Amino acid sequence: MSKTPKTNTKRKTRLKGSDTMKPCAGCGKSKDRFKSFRPRWAGCEKHRTDRGRRYYQKGCDPCDAKVNGNIRQPRCIECDAARPKKRKADAAPTPTPILTAAASTPEPVEPVVEPEPEPETVIEPVVEPEPETVEPEVVVEPEVVVEPEPETVEPEVVGQPEPSAESEDVTPEPAPTAARPKIANTSDLFKLFGDA
């Protein structure tokens, strides 16, 4: 029998590093695969909390296989602890004050009046035009006159204590009721249905 020599071929796996060492995704250093990295899953599929998170059950063989398996977290324990954690948002953000245009109106600038040159001089100085000040227009809203609605006076109805001689009695007369036949036995009952 001939023996084939062993060649240094890289194993076909998606795991990075060697069998014992693994590079950390956070710091990039190669560390021990099992001691420096936490397991990816804390327990097996059967052991879950009410919220669906897996937990480790002591003595469960599938839980031991998950914890001791080679599928580990990408960051080492130190880098994982240094990561920022999720925190609750502020209950009520503080409102920011808003400046209104009325509070920040600039004060009007008074125009400077230059004295006019005397008519005797021949050289006229160049006079720059005065900056016009724009006065804010005051808008007067017309007063709205609300006219009251005319009140309608309804005649008051007064009841009379006794009926007058002209009034008629309008109450309906009760309908005459037929006398119910007395049922003593079943033959009387059959007669009653036979008539109808």
Map tokens 């400077």 to a residue.
112
pTM score of the predicted model: 0.35
Answer yes or no: is 118 within a domain.
no
CB 119 within 8 A of CB 141: no
More confident residue, 20 or 183: 20
Answer yes or no: is 152 within a domain.
no
Answer yes or no: is 55 within a domain.
yes
Q: Which domain holds residue 63?
A: 17-82
Q: Tens of pLDDT along 136-165?
A: 676 667 677 777 777 777 777 777 677 677
Please report the pLDDT score of residue 102 as a whole number: 53
Answer yes or no: is 29 within a domain.
yes
Q: Tens of pLDDT along 55-96?
A: 888 899 999 888 888 788 889 999 999 988 888 776 666 667
d(CA 47, CA 59): 12
CB 19 within 8 A of CB 25: no
Number of domains in the chain: 1
Burial grade of 74 (CB within 10 A; 0-12, 13-18, 19 or more) = middle
Answer yes or no: is 57 within a domain.
yes
Answer yes or no: is 62 within a domain.
yes
CB 30 within 8 A of CB 21: yes
CB atoms within 10 A of CB 78: 13
- Kindly tell me if the per-residue pLDDT of 133 is higher than 80: no
| Average pLDDT rounded to a whole number, residues 20-27 | 88
- Kindly tell me if the per-residue pLDDT of 112 is higher than 60: yes
Selection from 3, 67, 81 nearest residue 35 by Cα? 67
Answer yes or no: is 49 within a domain.
yes
Please report the pLDDT score of residue 79 as a whole number: 92
Answer yes or no: is 89 within a domain.
no
d(CA 67, CA 58): 11
